Structure 1
Amino acid sequence: MKIAFSPCPNDTFVFHAWVHHLIPGAPRLDVSYADINITNYWAAESGTNKHDILKISYAALPWVLDEYALIPCGGALGRGCGPLLLRAGTPSASDPADPAFLSGRTVAVPSERSTAYLLFRLWAAQNVPGGIGKIIVMPFEKIMPAVRDGKVDAGLVIHEARFTYPSYGLNLITDLGSWWETDTGLPIPLGAIIAHRSLQLDQIATWTRASVEYAWAHPEASRDYVMSHAQEMEEAVAKAHIELYVNPFTANLGEDGYAAVAALLGRAADEGLVPEIDLAKLR
C-alpha cells in the first residue's frame, strides 16, 4: 500500500508502528516522504500511479474529496498549535505586532494550499487595511532566514518554527491559531489523513488509530526513526513538536474536529480561496 507523509516528527511518530510492521493484520507500506506542499499536489494529480493514503493539508481537501476520503484519525488538529506570522525587528518598528505594517508588503508563505495560508488570508481580510502586497511561496525552512535577511517583509511559519523563531531575531505579528480559536471557539485543522475511496476506509482508520495508540504506549520505540527524518532538529524540539501536534484529535477527530474543518473550508469558500464542498463528503 502506497502512503505519503512528511518527514516531520509528528508524522513519523504516528506512522512508525505501521511502517515497521507492528500493527497486526496491517498491510506493508511503501512510504514516500515529502513536504505537505508536495503531497497536496500529489493527491490532486490525475493518473493511475497514485498513493493510496496521504497526509495533506485540510486546505487542500476541496480539490480531492471526490477521489479521496477523510480518515478521522492520524492527522494534526488541535489548540495552541497554529501558524505564526513573523517580521524582523527594526529600530523604527516600535510596535512589531501592528498588522497595518503588512499593507502593500511582501509575505512569504509555505504553500497556497495550506491551512496556514487560509488562516492568514482570512485574518488579513479583517486586519490589514489595503490588503497584502505580494505573496511568495517558498519552502518553510527558508522562510525565517528570508525574513531575517530582509528578502521579504514578513513570513508565515509552521511546525517547529513556533519554538525557534526568536533565535532568528524575529518578532511575532500574530499567532493565527490563537486568532482562529478566539474568533470561532474551535480547534485548528492543520493536516488531514486521506485514503482513496476505493479502499476499505474503516479498516484503514483502524490501522491508523492502532499506530497512534502504539506510539503513545511505546514513545521510545519510534525515537531513532523520528530523529533520522527530523532534518537535524534537536531532540528536545522534536519532542515538543510531537507533544503539540499529536493529541486526542489525532486518535479521533470527533464532532469539534469536523466542525472546525467545516468552518475553515466554509469561510475560505466564502472568500473565494477554495472551491465549495459538499460537507457530507467529510464523513
Structure 2
Amino acid sequence: MEISVGHTPDSDDAFMFYGMFTGKVPSPDFKVNHVIEDIEKLNRKATDPELDVTAVSVHACAYIPGYTILRSGGSFGIGYGPIVTAREQKSIDELKKCKIAIPGKMTSAFLLLQLMIGKFDFVEMNFSEIPEAVRTGKVDAGLVIHETQLSYAQEGNVKILDVGEWWDKTTDGLPVPLGINVMRTDLGMDTIVKFDKYLQSSIEFGLKNFDDALEYAMQYARGKKRDLIEKFVKMYVNQVTVNMGDPGEKSIRKLFEMAKEKKLVPDFQISIATK
C-alpha cells in the first residue's frame, strides 16, 4: 500500500523516521512517500485530510475529526516543554499585557500558554523567526518551540516561563503533550495499527543506532551544533515517543478536558489507535 507521510523539518522527527525513510526498517505492507512541512502548515493541511499520515500538534486534534492518533511517534516533554523568552525578565502580570509571538494558533504550545496565563495579545510567525523578533524588539516576548528552547541565551534572550514545568506541576507529573502522528481514520483500524507498529519499529531502530540516526537528523539542524541537536533529540525522542502508553493518553485527554472547561477548543471526541 502506498501512503503519504507528512513530517516537520525538525531533527527529532527526522530521527524517528530515519529507519523508515532510509529503508533500513522495511515494511511488507507500506510504501512511504514523505512530505516535509512546518508543523503549523501540517496542522492546517490536516483540517482537510490530504495526507494519509501526518505529524500534527496535539492541539490540532480538536479540528481534524478525520484522523486517528497513533500511539507511537509523539513528542512529549518530561517536565519540560515550550518556553517564553524576552529581552529582559518580566512577571506574569507584565507578560499578560505584552504582544507575544507564537508559532501558530493550532500549536500545542499556544494552547498550553493560554491555559497557563489566560488569553493574551499575540502575533503568529514561523517559529524560526521568533527569537530574532524578540531580540530586535519587534515583539515583547516569544513562545518558542523545538531547539530554540535550548538556544535562547545564544540568541540574546532570557527565559521568562517554562510552560512544560507548569504543566508538570499542574498535572502531578503527566508528560507534556506537544506533537503526535495521526492517520486517516477511513483507512481502517487494522491498517492504522499496522502502520503504528511500523513507525514504532523505526523509532526503536533509531534509538538502537543512535549515532547514525542523529547524523541523518543533522540535515535538519538549521545551523545548530551537533551537541545541542543531540540534547534536543534525547529530550523529545523518549519512551513515551516509542509508545505513549497510559501516561501519554492521559496527558492528551487532560489537555482537552482543561481546554474545554475554558472554552478554548470545541467539544469533540478524540480517536486513538488501539493498543
TM-score range, shorter chain: over 0.9
Structure 2 counterpart SS, 1:244? helix
Residues 206-245 of structure 1: matches in 2 within 5 Å?
A: 206-245=197-236
CA contact (8 A) 2:58 2:179 kept: yes
Aligned to 1:159: 146
Tell me how far apart the structure 2 counterparts of residues 38 and 190 of structure 1 sit (CA, whole Å): 16
Structure 1 counterpart SS, 2:240? helix
| Residues 172, 229 of structure 1: alpha-carbon distance in 2 compared, 3 angstrom cutoff | closer
Aligned to 1:57: 57
Aligned to 1:93: none
Equivalent in 76, 82, 98 of residue 105 of structure 1 = 98
Residues 1-283 of structure 1: matches in 2 within 5 Å?
A: 1-26=3-28, 27-45=30-48, 50-64=50-64, 66-89=65-88, 96-125=89-118, 132=120, 134-185=121-172, 186-199=174-187, 200-279=191-270, 281-283=271-273
Structure 1 counterpart SS, 2:182? strand
CA RMSD of aligned residues (A): 1.4
Tell me how far apart the structure 2 counterparts of residues 107 and 123 of structure 1 sit (CA, whole Å): 14
Structure 2 counterpart SS, 1:155? strand
Q: CA deviation at 1:241?
A: 1.0
Structure 2 counterpart SS, 1:73? coil
Alignment TM-score, normalising by the size of structure 2: 0.92
What do the CA deviations read for 1:48-67 (whole angstroms, capped 9, x no partner)? xx211000000000111x31
- What residue ranges of structure 2 are gaps of 5+ in the alignment? none
CA contact (8 A) 1:81 1:245 kept: no
CA contact (8 A) 1:97 1:174 kept: no
269-278 or 250-259, which deviates more: 269-278
CA contact (8 A) 1:19 1:28 kept: no
CA contact (8 A) 1:78 1:249 kept: no
Q: CA deviation at 1:97?
A: 4.1
CA contact (8 A) 2:101 2:139 kept: yes
Q: CA deviation at 1:236?
A: 1.2
